[in-house]
């Protein structure tokens, strides 16, 4: 396996200079904007992130605003992006930054990594892009590009491989353009050296240095270990309606979708008769029950297979938040796991 070469750096930067994508966080790459964008991008595609980023930054333009934002507003701004711990950690970190130092994000990757939600990759991205610190930012995209460039058949899931790539990049990262170099590698991984199958080698600025291309094995790289199969969980979701309102419940403070609003649900699939009985036992006066179909949602380790029922009630049950359409859409952040049921409601009203 070859070492990464400094020869790669110039063609990669030239290519980046000529055609870098215009992205909202790239204009004015302040530490705050880079940080918010990198957290949003952790589990979400660039195109999907763009409108969320604009909305988030205009509502919460700086660390102070983020630290002081009410939780419901914060969650509403994140609604649809999923993985809500990301935004909760953003706020925790903003509060720490406000209370500890000069109110600015730290500059060093080590100090950045002490903040909630910031790992080595995000710390590298913020330090290099916003502050120009010569430190790599190594994520799955970068590992894929490097594995192909080096024709490496080692698993990129191994921490030792990641450490070695980090070291190799530290040796070649240009001191004057560290942020651009990291972004160029990310850009190459996102637009040319694509995941899941054939990379677009014909348009690659570093093809002549690419061992994977040379050996004809790039499309088969990188090697990854098999992921564990997701656990499947059946759930029944209830849209409890009373007049123009629907019932929302708050999820427990710990675990999956912690503390978020949801339509009441329970484990397992129920028949319509069982669903009616279930709510009668809770004291509901049920007027009608209607099955509205199934939906699926995939989390990182669990897949929910949901069956939905609409129950019309004569009176609202206590212990639930009863909201009308306008309140549900403007004030309550419902996780995207429930989007099929929200849409069903939207169509009815």
**CA 193 to centroid of chain Cα atoms:** 21
Minimum Å gap between C-beta 51 and ligand SF4 is: 29
- Answer yes or no whether residue 156 interacts with ligand SF4 by CB under 6 A: no
Window contacting ligand SF4 (CB under 6 A); options: 102-110, 143-151, 155-163, 223-231: 143-151
Minimum Å gap between C-beta 191 and ligand SF4 is: 10
Judged by CB under 6 A, which of 145, 169, 241, 248 binds ligand SF4?
A: 145
Choose the catalytic residue: 6, 38, 54, 318. 38
Q: Which is nearer to ligand SF4, 170 or 200 (CB)?
A: 200
Measured between alpha carbons, how far is residue 314 from residues 59, 243, 261, 280 in Å? 40, 8, 23, 12
Q: Which residue has the tokens 């990049």?
A: 169
| 170-229 residues near ligand SF4, rule: CB under 6 A | 192-193, 199-201, 204, 206-207, 210, 212-213, 218
Q: Which is nearer to ligand SF4, 117 or 212 (CB)?
A: 212
Minimum Å gap between C-beta 3 and ligand SF4 is: 15
- CA-to-CA distance for 189 and 87, rounded, in angstroms? 25
- Residue 157 in contact with residue 225, Cβ under 8 Å? yes
- Answer yes or no whether residue 148 interacts with ligand SF4 by CB under 6 A: yes
- CA-to-CA distance for 209 and 166, rounded, in angstroms? 19
Annotated catalytic, 38?
yes
Window contacting ligand SF4 (CB under 6 A); options: 56-64, 94-102, 142-150, 310-318: 142-150
Tell me whether residue 327 is exposed, middle or buried, using C-beta atoms within 10 angstroms of its C-beta: 0 to 12, 13 to 18, 19 or more: middle
- End-to-end C-alpha distance for the chain, whole angstroms: 62
- Answer yes or no whether residue 9 interacts with ligand SF4 by CB under 6 A: no
Residues in Cβ contact with 248 at an 8 Å cutoff, skipping those fewer than 6 apart: 261, 262, 263, 264, 320, 321, 322, 323, 328, 332, 334
- CA-to-CA distance for 345 and 145, rounded, in angstroms? 44
Cite the active site residues: 38
Question: Given the rule CB under 6 A, which residues bind ligand SF4?
Answer: 145, 148-149, 192-193, 199-201, 204, 206-207, 210, 212-213, 218
């Amino acid at each position: 396996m070859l070492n990464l070469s400094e020869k790669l750096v110039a063609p990669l930067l030239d290519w980046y200079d000529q055609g870098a994508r215009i992205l909202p966080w790239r204009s004015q790459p302040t530490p705050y904007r880079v940080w918010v964008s990198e957290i949003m991008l952790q589990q979400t595609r660039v195109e999907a992130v763009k409108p969320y980023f604009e909305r988030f930054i205009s509502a919460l333009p700086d660390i102070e605003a983020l630290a002081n934002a009410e939780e419901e507003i914060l969650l509403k701004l994140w609604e649809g992006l999923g993985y809500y711990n990301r935004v909760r950690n953003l706020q925790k970190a903003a509060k720490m930054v406000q209370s500890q130092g000069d109110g600015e994000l730290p500059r060093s990757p080590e100090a950045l990594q002490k903040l909630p939600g910031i790992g080595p990759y995000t710390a590298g991205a913020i330090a290099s892009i916003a502050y120009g610190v010569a430190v790599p930012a190594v994520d799955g995209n970068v590992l894929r590009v490097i594995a192909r460039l080096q024709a490496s058949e080692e698993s990129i899931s191994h921490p030792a491989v990641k450490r070695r790539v980090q070291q190799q990049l530290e040796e070649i990262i240009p001191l004057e353009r560290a942020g651009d170099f990291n972004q160029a590698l990310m850009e190459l991984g996102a637009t040319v050296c694509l995941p899941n199958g054939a990379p677009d080698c014909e348009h690659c600025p570093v093809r002549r240095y690419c061992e994977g291309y040379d050996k004809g094995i790039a499309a088969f790289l990188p090697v990854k270990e098999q992921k564990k199969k997701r656990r499947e969980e059946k759930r029944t979701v209830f849209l409890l309606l009373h007049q123009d309102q629907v019932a929302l419940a708050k999820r427990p403070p710990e675990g999956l979708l912690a503390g978020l609003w949801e339509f009441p649900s329970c484990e397992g699939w129920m028949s319509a008769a069982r669903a009616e009985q279930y709510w009668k036992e809770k004291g509901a006066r049920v007027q009608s029950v209607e099955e509205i179909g199934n939906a699926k949602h995939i989390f990182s380790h669990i897949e929910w297979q949901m069956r939905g029922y609409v129950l019309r009630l004569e009176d609202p049950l206590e212990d639930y938040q009863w909201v009308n359409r306008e309140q549900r859409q403007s004030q309550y952040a419902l996780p995207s796991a429930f989007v099929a049921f929200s849409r069903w409601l939207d169509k009815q009203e």
